[in-house]
Amino acid sequence: MRVHFLNCGTMYPRLAPWFSPYQERSCCICLLVETGNGLALVDTGFGTADMEDLGRLGSRANLLLNVRPDPELPAVRQMAKLGFDPGEVTDIVCTHLDRDHAGGLPVAGGTDLS
């Protein structure tokens, strides 16, 4: 088994300098796990559609989280750079359904459902 750590989005929360300075920069860490049967993702991070249109995050969330769009950060793009086909994903485990953990669900398995 091999585990890859992916940063699937970066946020710069606007209030962090005053309330939580150690979180001035927060990354959406996802895990890509090579199993004997295929690939598994633990969380998906922001999706490709989120990076193309930050409005999908909602105005309040975007205002507070201050997400920096980067089209190379979604899990499917990073998987391709590592030489994996997103269609090889057999399992996805979402720790919870906030968009920074589950925004990439529509494309994580290689099929765009958005």
- Asked whether the whole model's pTM tops 0.95, one would answer no
32 strand-pairing partners: 4, 41
Average confidence score pLDDT of the chain: 87
CB 65 within 8 A of CB 9: no
pLDDT bin (cut points 50, 70, 90) of residue 113 is: very low
Domains of the chain: 2-108 (3.60.15.10)
Q: What is the pLDDT of residue 110?
A: 55
pLDDT at residue 114 greater than cutoff 80: no
Tokens representing 62 are 């975007």
Q: Are strands 67-68 and 2-11 parallel, antiparallel or unpaired?
A: antiparallel
pLDDT bin (cut points 50, 70, 90) of residue 109 is: low
Amino acid at 68: R
The pLDDT of 47-55, averaged and rounded, is 90
